[in-house]
Structure 1
Amino acid sequence: MRGVNGKARARSIQALVQAGRSGHYLLGTLVTATVTLVAAPLLCVPSLAAPWAERHRRRAGALLGRPVEPRPRSPRRDLGWLATQLATGLPAGVLALLCLGNLLLVLGITVGWWAFPASEPARLPLLGVHVDSWALALTAGPVQFLLLAALAAIALPPLARVHARCCLAVTAPTPAERLAARVGELTRTRADVLQAHGAELRRIERDLHDGTQARLVAIAMRLAVAGEILPQDPDAAGALVRQTRAETEEAMTELRSVIRSVYPPVLADQGLVGALRALATRAGVPTRIDIGELGEVPAAVEAVAYFAVTEALSNIARHSRATEAAVHLTRDGALLSAEITDDGTGGADASRGSGLDGIRRRAAALDGTMRVSSPPGGPTVVTVELPCV
């Protein structure tokens, strides 16, 4: 019985908190709708209407718990939202003001009726009862307050959600605008891929030319010298052959390093799951690995996921001052998702040219995405999503 009462109490508290959030949203909507009405001629300027509408899109998304993605500017759509805000925001905000204002009024009358004597006793707004004694103040007052609180808990959250959905629906881009934005994103992604591909080819060529090729030339020269002096000085020729063997082993090591940067051998040997588990044992901070059922993953996707996790864990070890990290890898249909979290100091920003930007570029090359949530003080969550098609 005690557990049932506790759950009912928790639900009541949650309903009141939700009513408070919704009331705050609707009162803010009333203020902004009033500003829109007063400053309508000024806000009809597209350069001012767009940020004004965008601000309310973010407010509506925060209330509904939905991420609000950037959208292309559309003056007609923004002006349409101004009209919708006047038509829906003003009445919704006024209703919230009446409900919450009467709550405060009842509270004030109940507590202070005796302190401000007047010829006409104070009247409760909903019940219409004149409060002229402590008996009425302590009975009718709480009843009135509970009725208004219940009304707020029942009416304000759906009213706020309806207004927020209306705001997002009016300002949402059209299918044509989404297609245009998608084409623009793919164009930028293609340019990034070509640039990254060219840079990678130049790096591999430079590594092979300056490292492996130079060592192979030295090996060939040593073998030629050894062949020339072998009849006259077999011992010196043998020493050169032994040195050449050491050079050959070093050249093989460098060549393996170049190959590893193209496609890590650990992926071929152990697969993505085994490679990530091995990576966790070498991470600079204690790392927990949680991997769901992945099925068959294309090699290119495996490589990008592995490099993304590697770079993210490397950043954690170098910059975050974290005490632990976690990697959560799942697959939902054709979408592979890697989530890397840490309990560090936060403040990670992919726009500052860090390794996170490299992760974003690798993901974009496969039409994937990367999101970073890293408020000051942490935690940091890096989410990489890759299509497996």
Structure 2
Amino acid sequence: MTPSSGSRRLLVSIPLGRWVADRHRSMADDVLGNPLPSPYRPRQPGGRVAQLRSWASDPMTWRDLGWTLFAVTAGFALSLLVVLLLVIVVTGLLWWYGIEPIMRARCSIDRWFLNHGHTENLEQRVAVLTESRAESLDHSAAELRRIERDLHDGAQARLVALSMSLGMADEMFAHDPEQARKMVSEARATTGAALGDLRDVVRGIHPPVLADRGLSGAVQALALDMGLPVAVTAQLEGRPPAPVESAVYFAVAECLANVGKHAAARHAWVELSHGAGRLVAVVGDDGDGGADPARGTGMTGVMRRLSAFDGTMSVSSPDRGPTIVTLEVPCALSSPKTTPSSGTA
């Protein structure tokens, strides 16, 4: 057998073996519950050699091979035993209840072979944490640059103008007090504008309403500022940790901003809940649909913000809507400091 013919056989046999393994993996998930995602690494670009190299470096390729050896030996014997019991046992009811432990044992072994082992899970976890940490650092650096830019272009520029106006007014008081008073009045207005800029910067870091009223109240405040009716329902029997609360708040704010800018919606809603150790925020609208997270930097920022806390974002947005964005972050709730409210429009 030449090397080229061997590689051609591998290019056919490995995908075929994975297809068979997927069917058994799906059966094991149905029997045992708790479906697991496909464990294979994404297909790598490149030619035949690159693909074979990718398969060879994927631990699941070798776990599939071990499962194949089990399936044609002990696995076949277990399956044959089920058929023999059907032939030997006269009472069908006894056969029905008797095969369950056998099939569960077979599926448990299949799942052990056909999913990542403890080492692979740890490696994947480390890789995900490394990626999310890098994204969080990038996001933090971008936030710092934004704050620096806002301070430089806003409050700092106004304070410089204020200092110049007060200096000129001080020089004019001796020979033109009326003009000096006008300049002091302008300086007072500049002071108010500078304070407004500073409040905007602080609000962008951690909104006071979030600290005072919690996530439910802060999201309701966002809804009231929208140009369309937004219904908010909250079922939170406590408050999440402050960093998680802030991340979810800004994620919801970005989703609502996208609704206002792009959805052409007449109505939107936000649902906040907590269960099974996960904080869930659902943002929906009745707009045109067709939202694609890959096309917008805002949604990418949402995913990065949540990934720092092992959070996830899923988007359902068919043409003609509705668009539903589901945000989930694992966390526990503390004792409530504010009374959650619901039902604003």
**TM > 0.5:** yes
Name the residue aligned to 1:69.
37
Determine which structure has greater relative contact order: mean sequence separation of CA pairs < 8 Å that are 6+ residues apart, divided by chain length: 2
Q: Is the 8 A contact 1:325 1:341 kept in 2?
A: yes
Greater radius of gyration (CA): 1
The unaligned stretches of length 5 or more in structure 2 are 1-7, 42-57, 83-92, 333-345
1:170–1:283 Cα change, 3 Å: farther
Which amino acid is 2:294 matched to?
S
1:378 Cα deviation from its structure 2 partner = 4.2
**1:350 and 2:293 are equivalent in the alignment:** yes
Structure 1 CA distance for aligned equivalents of residues 206 and 197 of structure 2: 15
Name the residue aligned to 2:122.
179
Structure 2 CA distance for aligned equivalents of residues 86 and 204 of structure 1: 63
Provide the identity percentage: 44
Q: 1:288 aligns with which of 207, 224, 231?
A: 231
Secondary structure of 1:328's counterpart equals strand
Structure 2 CA distance for aligned equivalents of residues 164 and 299 of structure 1: 43
Structure 2 CA distance for aligned equivalents of residues 60 and 372 of structure 1: 28
Structure 2 CA distance for aligned equivalents of residues 274 and 327 of structure 1: 12
Structure 1 CA distance for aligned equivalents of residues 223 and 179 of structure 2: 48
Secondary structure of 2:237's counterpart equals coil
**1:370 and 2:316 are equivalent in the alignment:** no
Structure 2 CA distance for aligned equivalents of residues 273 and 385 of structure 1: 15
Q: When the two structures are aligned, how many residues end up with a matched partner?
A: 289
1:340 Cα deviation from its structure 2 partner = 2.0
Deviations 1:323-371 (A, max 9, x none): 4333221223653221223344443332334422111111112332223
Structure 2 CA distance for aligned equivalents of residues 76 and 67 of structure 1: 21
**1:78 and 2:64 are equivalent in the alignment:** yes
Q: Is the 8 A contact 1:222 1:244 kept in 2?
A: yes
Alignment of structure 1 residues 165-314 onto 2, 5 Å: 168-314=111-257
1:165 Cα deviation from its structure 2 partner = 7.2
Q: Is the 8 A contact 2:214 2:239 kept in 1?
A: no
1:185–1:54 Cα change, 3 Å: farther
Which amino acid is 1:79 matched to?
L
Secondary structure of 1:331's counterpart equals strand
1:63 Cα deviation from its structure 2 partner = 9.8
Structure 2 CA distance for aligned equivalents of residues 80 and 375 of structure 1: 42
Structure 1 CA distance for aligned equivalents of residues 266 and 109 of structure 2: 44
Of Structure 1 and Structure 2, the greater helix share is in 1
1:344–1:233 Cα change, 3 Å: closer
Deviations 1:50-91 (A, max 9, x none): 5774587578769998654353532112224445676879x9
Structure 2 CA distance for aligned equivalents of residues 76 and 375 of structure 1: 39
Name the residue aligned to 2:275.
332
Q: TM-score by structure 1 length?
A: 0.63
Q: Is the 8 A contact 1:292 1:329 kept in 2?
A: yes
Structure 1 CA distance for aligned equivalents of residues 281 and 124 of structure 2: 25
Name the residue aligned to 1:386.
329
Q: Is the 8 A contact 1:43 1:49 kept in 2?
A: no
Q: TM-score by structure 2 length?
A: 0.70
1:252 Cα deviation from its structure 2 partner = 1.2
1:285 Cα deviation from its structure 2 partner = 4.0
